[in-house]
Amino acid sequence: MSGQPIFILKEGSKRTRGRDAQSNNIMAAKAVAEAVRTTLGPKGMDKMLVDSMGDVTITNDGATILKEMDIEHPAAKMIVEVSKTQDEEVGDGTTSAAVVAGELLKKAEDLIEMDIHPTVIASGYRLAANKAIEIVNGLAKEVKTNDEKLLTSIASTAITGKGAESAKSLLAGIAVKAVTSVVDEIGGKKVVDREQINVVKKVGGRVEDSELINGMIIDKERVHTNMPEVVKDAKILLLNEAIELKDTEVDAEISITSPDQLQLFLDQEEKMIKDLVDKVAKSGANVVFCQKGVDDMAQHFLTKLGLFVVRRVKKSDMEKLSRATGGNLISNFDEISKDDLGYAAVVEEKKISGEPMVFVTGCNNPKSVSILLRGGTDHVIDSVETALEDALRVVGVAIEDQKLVAGGGSPEVEISLRLNEYASTLEGREQLAVRAYAEAFEVIPKTLAENAGLDPIDMLMALRSAHEKGMKTAGLDVFKGEVVDMWKEVVVEPLRVKTQVINAATESAVMILRIDDVIATTKSQGAGGAPGGMPGMGDMGMDM
């Protein structure tokens, strides 16, 4: 048996170990970070992504880019997860999260070359992350939920640099009004449910034609053209039930032997439908939104009664209508009462770009609102939606946490300087890891400068100098090319954007660092891959 090789992996499996595995993973993560780095900041560029179907996406949103890119490398996918989590938790800072994670790994690679063990680096990074959270919390300032000016500045900061920047002030105002309309207080804490803001896109017109509707927009039309187009002082019935006869649960045959019997059968069917319509009319409702179908005969009777009826409304829209109008969702015709009706000042059908839509406005306490987005093309309107989504999320986060920090690379420079001071208090090799962590955070102001065509070294030196003099909110104004007080310029972001970047980037970097063995099962050598069974990064266009 001596010298006999023992195989524990099935044929076709590839294994990369030690320094090679770490180097491979770090290289892949750095490539992902580089792919989105040029999109960072107000002067960041856009990416055009074309999928296998030929559909085009144009964006500079980090999460969108990484989601659309067909990334195969497992370590690279972890960086995509960082950006995705940032998007889900906060809505903004997705590019920053990916760039910082990539830079942390780049600095770690230098330490590994110095024969510092990855677990020591991981330990140092965790110490640095805890200290960084403490530092950034110390920089935070309070925001009141009724401070509309400051909230609008937060929204403007999120929109700056995106395709919708031309209509920044309009969109920021819409975002603030929409979010403040849906704020709830639960257990003494303010909570914003983003799902209660309905965004409807319609191609046509300009971005400046976008508007906020204090109520609901339903992308449907009346079931019959003879129904009134406008109903004022609307009493709204929300039906989960179809206004038509149900099929029986059991199979049954009806034997009709004469024309009289057929007529009686049809008359009975008509009477049953008429009874359903009468129950609706008896409630006093003059507008009906039905989640299911409406029978042709029922349409006739409802039209004669002068009711405004919309059918096949989405379940999510029905729930938002209930919240906006104060009406209850009804599933049984026998239980309809006046107390279940919702109210709106006006319900009307309007044509937007030639397509009919129903507007429900003037609700008493609209806890659901709608935003009508307009734009010249599908790509423009998609870009506007991405920018608005970021603005809605950051305003919501700011209202929930009531804590803000300055933007423009200001917190990152402060974190870097204070972590270097903190590193001096440590003993052992963790000190080197904390210093590397501090340097990694300087990638944000450097990248902001690079993307604006400024000298990154000069700008970083100027920022460090300002912070050492006590200007903790000094950041980079990429339009003027100089260091200014970001708080006075009202370039602000929610605290959670920064804390989430620190936590997500650190955790993913530590996870990738601790991997020293990659075992990949591949069907064939040419199936996807780079040497060692790791899928390649060639389709990312990265020169590695």
CB 171 within 8 A of CB 156: no
How many other C-beta atoms can be found within 10 angstroms of the C-beta atom of residue 362?
17
543 is catalytic: no
Helix (H, G, I), strand (E, B) or coil at 307: coil
Catalytic residue among 39, 57, 64, 95: 95
Residue closest to 61 by CA, chosen among 32, 85, 87: 87
Would you call 55 exposed, middle or buried from its count of C-beta atoms within 10 A (0-12, 13-18, 19+)? exposed
Helix (H, G, I), strand (E, B) or coil at 309: strand
Is residue 71 within 8 A of residue 80, CB to CB? The reply is: yes
φ/ψ of 482, rounded to 5, equals -145, 165
- Annotated active-site residue in 94, 303, 325, 499: 94
Burial of 204 (C-beta count, 10 Å sphere; 0-12/13-18/19+): middle
CA distance 537 to 193: 38
Give the span between the Cα atoms of 25 and 22, in whole angstroms.
5
Give the DSSP letter string of 343-409. EEEEEEEEEETTEEEEEEE--SS-SSEEEEEEESSHHHHHHHHHHHHHHHHHHHHHHHH-EEEE-TT
CA angle 79, 80, 85 (to 5 degrees): 100
How many C-beta atoms lie closer than 10 Å to residue 358's C-beta? 21
CB atoms within 10 A of CB 251: 6
Neighbours of 30 (CB within 10 A): 23
Catalytic pick from 57, 390, 499, 506?
390
DSSP state of 195: G
Catalytic site residue 94? yes
Q: Which one is catalytic: 57, 59, 61, 160? A: 61
Q: What is the DSSP letter of 338?
A: G
Q: Which class for 385: exposed (0-12), middle (13-18), buried (19 or more C-beta within 10 A)? A: middle
Q: DSSP for 241-293? A: S-BSPPPPSS-------SHHHHHHHHHHHHHHHHHHHHHHHHTT-SEEEESS-
The set of catalytic residues is 61, 94-95, 390
